[in-house]
Amino acid sequence: MSFSSNVKSELLHCFVKDTHCIAAEVSAIINLCGQITEKENKICIKIQTENTSVARKCFTLITKNFNIDSRVVIKCGRKNRKINSFAVSVGEKSSGVDMERFLEKCCFYRGNDGKYNLNHIDEKLFYDSCCRKAYIRGAFLSAGSVNDPGKTYHMEFVVSDKDYCTELMNVINSFGIEAKSIIRKEHYVIYIKDGEQIADMLNIMGAHV
- Position 183 scores a pLDDT of 96
- Position 76 scores a pLDDT of 56
- Position 83 scores a pLDDT of 59
Angular region, 101: left φ>0, alpha ψ -120 to 50, beta rest: alpha
**Selected residue with higher pLDDT from 2 and 163:** 163
Nearest to 106, CA basis, from 53, 47, 177, 41: 47
Percent of the chain with pLDDT over 90: 65
- Neighbour-count burial of 176, counting CB atoms closer than 10 A to its CB (0-12 exposed, 13-18 middle, 19+ buried): exposed
> Which stretches within the chain are classed as H helix?
3-12, 19-33, 52-65, 96-105, 129-143, 162-173, 195-205
Q: What is the mean pLDDT of residues 49-61?
A: 87
- Bridge partner residues of 49 (DSSP): 86
State the Cα–Cα distance between residues 173 and 193, nearest whole angstrom: 13
Angular region, 130: left φ>0, alpha ψ -120 to 50, beta rest: alpha
Is residue 184 within a helix (H) or strand (E), and if so which, with residue range? strand 180-184
Q: What is the mean pLDDT of residues 172-183?
A: 97
Contact 181, 191 (CB under 8 A): yes
Instruction: Using DSSP bridges, classify how beta strands 187-192 and 34-39 pair: parallel, antiparallel or unpaired.
Output: unpaired
**Selected residue with higher pLDDT from 42 and 137:** 137
Express each pLDDT in 11-20 by its tens digit: 999 999 999 9
pTM of the model: 0.93
Q: What is the mean pLDDT of residues 104-124?
A: 92
Task: Provide the pLDDT confidence category of residue 69 given band limits of 50, 70 and 90.
Answer: confident
DSSP at 51: -
Q: What is the mean pLDDT of residues 41-63?
A: 88
> Is pLDDT at 7 greater than 90 in this prediction?
yes
- Position 89 scores a pLDDT of 87
State the Cα–Cα distance between residues 43 and 95, nearest whole angstrom: 8
Contact 55, 87 (CB under 8 A): yes
